[in-house]
Amino acid sequence: MLQKQLKNFIMKNNTIDLQVKGITYFKTNRGVGYNCLTNIEHIHILNDGVGGETYLYNYGEKYKILNKLETQYDEFQLESLIDKYENVDRKF
């Protein structure tokens, strides 16, 4: 079943098309954190809001896809996906 689900997300160059589908922000004692829903069930993009990095998190089942996603997307690429969802154009 997992292989069938993953076929929907694997692109021609064998990368996984991860997209942000929703964001929930929350206040912490050191700032603001967020939890992003993605187009892949049980896979979220998180930042705990206490000064740590942005990372992938797997809610529920243990998907092998998480390992592939972690090698494909670094913290800055994950944040770029969020920017794209929010229509933010960052120029550095």
Mind listing the pLDDT tens digit for each residue in 8-48? 666 656 778 899 999 999 999 999 999 999 998 889 999 99
**Which residue range(s) make up the domain with 31?**
2-85
Assigned domain for 65 exists: yes
- Domain contains 90: no
41 falls within a domain: yes
Any domain includes 58: yes
* Count: domains in the chain: 1
3-state secondary structure of 83: helix
- 35 domain residue, yes or no: yes
Alpha helices in the chain (DSSP H): 2-7, 65-72, 75-85
Six token digits for residue 46: 């998180």
The single-letter code of the amino acid at 30 is: R
pTM for the predicted model, two decimal places:
0.81
Is residue 92 domain-resident? no
Domain membership of residue 29 (yes or no) is yes
What are 42-65's pLDDT values in tens digits? 899 999 999 889 999 887 666 677
Residue 18 belongs to a domain:
yes
